[in-house]
Amino acid sequence: MNWSEKVILITGGTGSFGRKFVEIMLNDFQPKKIIVFSRDELKQHEMRSAGFDGPSMRYFIGNVRDLERLRRAFHGVDIIVHAAALKQVPACEYNPSEAIMTNIMGGKNVIEAALDMQVSHVLALSTDKAVNPINLYGATKLAAEKLFIQSNAYAGGSATRFSCVRYGNVVGSRGSVIPIFLQQREKGVLTITDERMTRFWLSLEQGVRFTIRAIEQMQGGEIFVPKIPSMRVADLAKAIAPDATFEVIGIRPGEKLHEVLISEDDARHCVELDDMYVVEPSGALWFGHTWREKGKPLPEGTILASNTNENWLAEDEIAALIEPFMGDS
C-alpha cells in the first residue's frame, strides 16, 4: 500500500490510541492527509499544541452519532480507522443507552457514511470483551463487530471493505489499571479484585502497528487477532509497588476472571499465522476466505483464553512495559 497517496480518517482520534496512531503515521508512513475526527475541541487543541500539526493534518469536530457530519468528514477519504467508543465498563453499565448510541448506532453511522462516500478500507477496533460478553460494553462491541463484518454484504460491487481488529488490554491507555495502581502506590495500599485474574496485554505502539498491518492485508470480512502475551494482574501490581500492601476487594460487576480472544465457535473459522490469527467470515459468500492458503486452521475446540495462553510476560518484560509510566505517580 502506498500510504503517501492515502487520505486517512480516525474516529476518536484524540484518544490514547488515536494520538499514537497519528504519531506513527506522521513519523513512519507520511500519508497524504490525516483527519482526526472527535467531539472534544479542547483535546483537539491540546493535540495540535503538542505538535500533531502540519500541512497533512486536519481536525474535524463531530460525533459518530451524527450521520450527516460523518458523510461530510468522509468526503475524499480512502481509509477509516474507527476507534471512537465509550469503553469504561462501569460507565457503560450505568449509562446503557449512551453506550448503545455510541458503540452500536455510531458504528452503524460510520458504515453508512463509508458506503455512501465510497471509502475503500474501514477497520474497526474491537476488544476481547466482545467474546462471550458479560457486560454491556462487551455486548456493544460484539454487536459492532457483527455490524462491520456483515456490512460487507452491503458493499456489493463497490470498493468498500470492512474488517475488525480484536485485542486485549492496552498498557497505559485511558481506563487502564496502571494509573490507578500508581495513584494507590502513594498511599501504600493497592486494591486487587482477585489474585487469580489474568488479562491479555500489549503496548499502545504494538496495537497501532498491528492495526496498520491489518489495513494493509484486509480483504474485507476478517477479524484480525494478534498473538499477545498474558499477565496476572497481581503480578502487575507487584511490579508497580513491590513494597505495598495488597487488598483483595472482589470482582466488580461486569468483570471476568479471565478474558477470551478466540472462542470455540470463532476457532472453527480461524486461521493461525506466525504472529496472528485471522477469523474468517462465516456463512457468507463474499470476500475474506483466502486466508487458509496462507496459514493453518485451528484445531477443533480451540479456545484462546488469558489463563490458558502459552505466552506469558516474565517479570522483566512486565517491568519494561510499565517503565514509561512509572514516573507519572
**Active site members:** 129
Q: What is the 3-state secondary structure (H, E, C) of 192-246?
A: ECCCCCEEEEECHHHHHHHHHHHHHHCCCCCEEEECCCEEEHHHHHHHHCCCCEE
Question: Going by DSSP bridges, is the β-strand pair 260-262/223-226 parallel, antiparallel, or unpaired?
Answer: unpaired
Buried b (16+ CB within 10 A) or exposed e, 50-74: eebeeebbebbebbbbebebbeebb
φ, ψ (nearest 5 deg) of residue 152:
-60, -25
**Longest distance between any two alpha carbons in the chain, whole Å:** 61
Name 80's bridge partners: 9, 122
**Rounded distance between C-alpha atoms, residue 322 and residue 227, angstroms:** 20
Cβ of 310: how many Cβ atoms within 10 Å?
8
**Rounded distance between C-alpha atoms, residue 153 and residue 174, angstroms:** 34
The residues, ordered by sequence, that sit 6+ positions from 304 with a Cβ below 8 Å of its Cβ are: 225, 260, 261, 262, 267, 277
Q: For the packed helices 315-322 and 233-240, what is the interaxial angle rounded to 10 degrees?
A: 60
Q: What is the 3-state secondary structure (H, E, C) of 165-180?
A: EEECEECCCCCCHHHH
Cβ(102)–Cβ(113) below 8 Å? no
